[in-house]
Copies of this chain bind each other. A is one copy, B any other.
Amino acid sequence: MEPVPSPVSAAHVTTLRGFNRYFTRRIGVLDDHYLGQDRPLGEARLLYEIGAGASLRELRTRLGLDAGYLSRMVRALEKQGLVRVTVHPGDSRLRLAEPTPAGRAELAEQNRRADDLAEGLLRGLTETQRRQLTEAVATTERLLRLAAITVRPVPATSADARACLAGYAAELDERFPEGYAATDLVPPERIAVFLVAYEEKRAVGCGVLCALDDETAEIRHLWVHPEARGLGLGRRLLAELEHTAAGRGHRTVRLDTHKVLKEAAAMYRTGGYTQIPAYDDNPHAGYWFEKPLGPAGKAPGTH
């Protein structure tokens, strides 16, 4: 997980557990209760997840339901005139569920109720307290999400690895004035380690380690899925790559980045990297960086 895993203190565990209990028993129950109202909770949740439309396959994995059970529930919603089920154009094995106007109306009502619940809670606080709460809640969610993400090495040719690289290439192609092609990626055989970050089975980030020589490793293709940004996942991937490099005996890591990726350059600088002259002729690179690896793979002054 973390370069130097430290023992988790009991006080932190206690606080988090107490919060879990408080929240699931009080607020969670309220939330579900308001969401459901006249409808069995399962159906209400399903309608909510269908949202603007989704395939049954997606719903099944998102909600973790039995295929038969889901099929019947969708059928029930259809009978009530809340959703319409169609065959997926392009893959007739799949079914698509979409809300009808009546379904959309019910969703809007669900939304209104959930808003009311949140608003009712906030109304009991002063404006200052509301700001505090909003901030604390955002921090909590951000860190819990980050904590729930696991990073692990996968084969460079695995589906998740390829999906990440595709997302990476597509994004760079959009952001680089000169564009970016799949052929600009490191060929799989040069990849020593391919790390993928998973949030709930979904690949939401990656990073690649290549050996330049015994002494030096290069980090490439560090990427975080747009929906997982702002959590601090980039830093975590970077740290794990450094840790991995150190574990493989390298003493130094290098990397480069494009001129337009200002955030990336900033992250490397605060992460203990110093700018160095070009060490290769990567046509997309604008800055080259280097960082010495301590024995524990931890930079001085990080975090």
Q: Which residues of B contact A119 (CB under 8 A)?
A: 8, 13
Q: Determine whether A279 belongs to the interface, using a CB cutoff of 8 Å to chain B.
A: no
Complex alpha-carbon distance, A1 and B123, angstroms: 7
Whether A2 sits at the interface, judged by CB under 8 Å, is yes
Chain B neighbourhood of A181, CB < 8 A: none
| Chain A interface extent, by class | 35 or more
Q: How far is the CA of A2 from the CA of B8 in the complex (A)?
A: 39
Minimum distance in angstroms from A75 CB to a CB of chain B: 24
A171 CB to nearest chain B CB (Å)? 24
- Verify B232–A12 contact, CB threshold 8 A: no
Q: Contacts A23-B28, A31-B20, A31-B24 known; A139 to B150 CB distance under 8 Å?
A: no
**Chain B hits for A121, CB < 8 A:** 16, 144, 147-148
Out of B5, B8, B124, B143, which one reaches A146, CB within 8 Å?
B124
Copies per assembly: 2
Indicate whether A183 reaches chain B with its CB closer than 8 angstroms: no
A126-134, A202-210, A265-273, A284-292 - interface stretch: A126-134
For residue A92, CB closer than 8 A to chain B, the reply is no
Quick one: given A2-B126, A17-B114, A232-B129, are A22 and B134 in contact (CB under 8 Å)?
no
Label chain A's interface by main secondary structure: helix
Task: List A20-35 residues whose CB lies under 8 Å from chain B.
Answer: 20-24, 26-28, 31-32
Q: Which residues of A contact B (CB under 8 A)?
A: 1-2, 5-6, 8-9, 11-13, 15-24, 26-28, 31-32, 114-115, 117-119, 121-141, 143-150, 200, 232, 303
Please provide the 3 A-B residue pairs with the shortest distance between their CB atoms, ordered closest to farther. Answer: A136-B139, A24-B28, A124-B147
Question: Can you show 30 pairs from A to B with CB atoms below 8 A apart?
Answer: A8-B122, A11-B134, A12-B122, A12-B133, A15-B137, A16-B121, A16-B133, A17-B118, A19-B137, A19-B138, A20-B118, A21-B31, A23-B23, A23-B141, A23-B144, A24-B31, A24-B32, A26-B148, A121-B147, A123-B147, A124-B147, A125-B143, A129-B146, A129-B147, A129-B232, A133-B139, A133-B147, A135-B136, A136-B140, A137-B140
